[in-house]
Amino acid sequence: MSISRKVKKVLKKFPYDISFVVDEGIVLLEGEVNSHQEWVKIGLNIGDIKGVKGVVNEIRWKGMKEGKTRAERRENIASKNERKRLGKHEVVIIGGGIIGCSIARELSKFKVDVALVEKGPDVSLGQTRANNGMVHPGLAPSKGSLKRRLNVRGNEMYGELCEELDVPFKRVGSLILITSRTLKKYKRYLPLGLNTGFCKYILPWLVKKKADRNRLKGVEILRGDDIKKEVKGVTDDVISAVKIPSTGIVDPYELTIALYENAKKNGVDFYLDTEVVGFAKEDSMIRGVITDKGVLGAHHVVNAAGLYSDEIAELADTKEFTIHPRKGVELLFNKRIQDDVEHCLTELTLPSHPTSKGGGINPTVHGNIIWGPTAKEIESKKDTSVDKKDIDEIMERYSKVLPDFPRSEFIRYFAGVRAPSFTEDFIIRPAKEVQNLLHVAAIQSPGIASAPAIAEYSVEMLDKMGLKLERDESFDGSRRAMDRAAEMSDDELRSRIQEEQRWGNIVCTCEMVSEAEIIEAINRGAESFDAIKRRTRAGMGECQESYCLLRIADIMSKELDIPLKNVKKEWAESEFFDGTVRGEEG
Ligand SMILES: Cc1cc2nc3c(=O)[nH]c(=O)nc-3n(C[C@H](O)[C@H](O)[C@H](O)COP(=O)(O)OP(=O)(O)OC[C@H]3O[C@@H](n4cnc5c(N)ncnc54)[C@H](O)[C@@H]3O)c2cc1C
């Protein structure tokens, strides 16, 4: 059956007058529906059709915010900036998340002149900032998907990459727990004995079989006390478990900052605080990337703009997919209880969630424990709000897995927004209508886990698109992490203090961060409080900034030579102090 006939068949299930066009596997939908949920549902149903490469969902929903699209607003800015020249590069990458920075570093291995443009004042401010940092093994993504292939390969590449970049990475392994709740939805069809037998023997065997098919090594089935030995305090409801040793954990922004520093060292130009607002085109080729600061000449352009990759495609006149933002809320627990969770834990529930791996309990490389994320379709890409219901949902769900876990050690919540397309796979391909634009889009989870392989694959794509790639023998892949007082022995710290007194001034007592580290972060380019926080961990501990904020702001004011009132949290106009600060002139 042709894609058009299948689309027609799917749309018949909905009580709306939706029109559509299919062009080379891209489905464009138009019409009006009652709610945002219906908009998502129709998009996902169409995206699920075999052969569909992208869904451009232009259906409107009742109550949808009208007004100029972002692309229209950007065009105004573009017209003002199209004459200012910033420079010319062979490749311009749009987006400084883990994906853009990974591609930048991968390209810096070759004799190619590369620039990366990021609208934020630092790298790692999009999805890359707020996630679990789990290096998934590659079990969950569906058969035949790009996600599965790049996740498995990415996971394999992690050890070497993190060693080169001096970034902490631990293969803590994960356990998929099969409990008396796993088949809850089917329970009425299964007598109790059969349910237990199924969960004890058949299900773990099926999971292991899938893992073996995906080339995951060392996968084991555990039962009874063997699970209790691996997972402290695990629920008595657990029947069996599948252990996957290759699952890892990483600090996603630490890795992204390391990729950025190393790419910069190898010659990549970074334009931070610079937003792409349009393109200068000749026929089907981009000749210039127009930003709010001026134009960058480009032979090839990479669209790694995360949640906004659909809008970048639109700006280049090649609408091929729509991103539907999906929020995930997470809870973070104190490092004090780090010994309580050693591995990443997920409880298998069937049928599985159609669009999420279901979240879990994870340790982090810095010793905190994370519960989450949830998965909720939202209207706005900027919605990172958290309400009590989200927190209750997470607490209830994971308390069933670890009933005696000290939940009062919860120190903060946060939300991140995923960037899926309606086909739910990664979109890494040359743009349909623009010959020199490569989309590296819809990189939702497992985007962190897949990042090294996505970079490798993207460079292969650029090669096929005609980019000349010659190895640069002067490439230096190494990078040194910042020294940390918290990781030094007493003797080491004492001798550092003798050399430099500021090692002895501990400004963040929860994470034990010294003034010397704050200054090192500033020397490495941090210009805001949050940029320092991401590089040093100051403010990330139990008191959540209440002790160190003023101390760090004071150091920043002196080192950056700016008045205290100009010290920013992150973005422009995010100053902490309003008006004159006591003790400061003017
Ligand atoms: C709650 C949550 C949990 C997750 N957990 C995991 C996990 O455990 N493991 C895992 O593998 N993955 C996980 N993910 C997915 C992972 O975070 C993403 O796949 C990954 O961060 C995507 O990176 P990116 O570089 O594509 O996007 P982003 O990090 O969003 O980067 C895109 C960048 O583009 C910039 N940009 C956008 N528009 C423009 C413009 N016009 N001009 C210039 N710059 C622009 C943005 O400012 C942004 O910095 C999770 C995601 C969420 C939300």
- Can you give the residue ranges of every domain in the chain? 3-61, 70-129+252-323+423-464, 170-234+327-416, 485-566
Whether the CB of 96 sits within 6 Å of ligand 1: yes
Whole-number Å distance between alpha carbons of 25 and 3:
7
- Asked if residues 557 and 575 have their Cβ atoms less than 8 Å apart, the reply is no
Residue 74 CB–ligand 1 contact under 6 Å: no
Name the DSSP class of 273: T
Q: Which amino acid is at 106?
A: E
Among 89, 136, 324, 439, which one carries the catalytic annotation? 136
Residue 567 DSSP symbol: -
Q: Which residue has the tokens 């002895």?
A: 504
Ligand 1 pocket residue status of 309, Cβ below 6 Å? no
Ligand 1 within 6 A of CB of 275:
yes
Ligand 1 proximity of 446 Cβ (cutoff 6 Å): yes
Q: Probe ligand 1: pick from 92, 445, 454, 530, max atoms within 8 Å of CB?
A: 445
What class is the 170-234+327-416 domain?
alpha beta
Fold for domain 70-129+252-323+423-464?
FAD/NAD(P)-binding domain (3.50.50)
Could you check whether the bond before residue 373 is cis, i.e. omega within 30 degrees of 0? yes
Residue 307 Cα: closest atom of ligand 1: 30
Phi-psi region of 92 (alpha: psi -120 to 50; beta: other; left: phi over 0): beta
383-394 pLDDT per residue, tens: 999 999 999 999
In ligand 1, the atom with minimum distance to the C-alpha of 362 is 8
Residue 449 in contact with ligand 1 by CB distance below 6 A:
yes
User: pLDDT, tens digit, for every residue of 123-161?
Assistant: 999 999 999 999 999 999 988 999 999 999 999 999 999
Atom of ligand 1 nearest to the CA of 100: 25
The per-residue pLDDT for range 495-524, each reduced to its tens digit, is 999 999 999 999 999 999 999 999 999 999
CB 388 within 8 A of CB 223: no
pLDDT grade, residue 586 (50/70/90)?
Answer: very low
Q: What is the pLDDT of residue 581?
A: 59
Domain over 3-61 is classified CATH 3.30.565.10: no
**Encoded tokens for 108:** 């810096």
Bridge-based pairing of strands 54-61 and 26-33 is parallel
pLDDT > 70? residue 70: no
Tens digit of pLDDT for each residue in 180-196?
Answer: 989 877 666 666 667 78
Q: Can 89 be counted among the known catalytic residues? A: no
Ligand 1: which atom is nearest the Cα of residue 447?
Answer: 19
Q: Which residue puts its alpha carbon closest to atom 4 of ligand 1? A: 131
**Separation of alpha carbons 71 and 74, rounded Å:** 5
Q: Which CATH architecture has domain 485-566?
A: Orthogonal Bundle (1.10)
